[in-house]
Amino acid sequence: MIHVWHYVQERYPITVTLPMSTVIAIGVMPVLQVSWQQYAIAVLAVWLGMFLLRAADDLHAIDTDRIKSPHRGLVTGRIAASSIRYACMLALLLLALLYIPHREALAFLGVLVVYYTLLYRISERLPLLLRPFGSNMVFAALPFLAELVYSGQFSAESAGCAGFVYLAAVAHEYAHNVGEEKPAPLRTYDSIIGSRGTAAIAAALFALSFIFGLWMSRSIEESYGFAIVLTAHMLVNMYWAVQLIRRPIASSARKFYILGFTFFILPLGARIVERLISWGTN
C-alpha cells in the first residue's frame, strides 16, 4: 500500500486531482439536483478513471522513462510496478461496483476497458502524432458516461461536452510539449513536424475544442457563465498559442501545463456556479 501512496504523491497528487475530478464530474452532469451520494460516486468515478489512465500510461512507458525520466519511482524501483498493477485492478473493480445499478454505463465502461487494453498493445505501432488522440479518449468518454447514468442515453449536450473536453486535453498534450528535448533514440512531435508545427496543431485543437464548447452551450440551460469564461479563456490561449508559434521554445510552452487544463476546468466551474445560483433562486 505504501508503494501506491508514494505513486499518488509523485504522479497523481490528491490536492490537484481531487478538485479537478470534482469540477469535471459535476460540470459534465446533465442534472444538478441529485443526492450527495450521487455526487460522491461521480467524483470518485472520475478520480479513479483518471488514476487508471495515469497509472496505465506510466506502467506502459517504464522502458521509455528509463531514458527520459530516470528519476521516477517506477524506474528507480522505489515504487513497485506490481503494486501499481494491483491498484489498477482494484480501481477497476471499484468502478464496476459503482456502476452496477446502471447497466448501460457498466457496458460502456466495459467497452472502455477493452479499448484501452487494445490501445496499449498496439500503441508502439501507432504514428507518434496520433497517440495523444488515442490515450486521451477517456476525457471524451466521461460526459457520455455521466449521461448514461442519469438518463440512459446520449444527447447533443454530452456530445458537445465530450468534444470540448477531449480536444482540449489533446491540445494540452501538444502545447506543453513544444520545444521538448528527449535523448536519442526517443522521438518528439517536434522531430516529426517541427516545433512550429506542434504549436500550430495545439492552436487548431484549442479552436476546435472552443467550437464544441459553444455547441455544448447551446444545449444547456446554464450557458452564460460557461460561454463567457470559455470565450475569455479562448482569447488567452490563442494569444499565447500565437506567441508559441512565433517563438516555439520549451520555456514558452510550460504555461500550457496549466492553460491546457484550465481551458475546460474553468468554464465547467462557471457552469457549476451558475447552476448553483439558479438552483438557489428557484
Same domain, 44 and 91: yes
- Asked if residue 233 lies in contact with residue 262, where contact means CB atoms within 8 angstroms, the answer is yes
Among 120, 152, 184, residue at a domain's last position:
152
Three cell numbers at 221?
440551460
- Asked if residue 260 lies in contact with residue 240, where contact means CB atoms within 8 angstroms, the answer is no
Same domain, 122 and 218: no
Q: What's the pTM value of the predicted model, to 2 decimals?
A: 0.90
Same domain, 124 and 196: no
In whole angstroms, give the CA distance from residue 146 to residue 247. Answer: 40
Where residue 124 falls among pLDDT bands split at 50, 70, 90?
confident
| Domain encompassing residue 226 | 155-282
- Nearest alpha-carbon partner for 172 in 123, 215, 209: 209
Same domain, 170 and 281: yes
Same domain, 249 and 271: yes
Among 114, 134, 152, residue at a domain's last position:
152
Same domain, 170 and 113: no
pLDDT at residue 127 greater than cutoff 70: yes
Same domain, 202 and 145: no
CATH for 37: 1.10.357.140
Number of domains in the chain: 2
pLDDT tens by residue, 206-257: 999 999 999 988 877 767 889 999 999 999 999 999 999 999 998 889 999 9
Same domain, 25 and 112: yes
Same domain, 100 and 31: yes
Same domain, 141 and 6: yes
Among 132, 152, 172, residue at a domain's last position:
152
In whole angstroms, give the CA distance from residue 61 to residue 70. Answer: 11
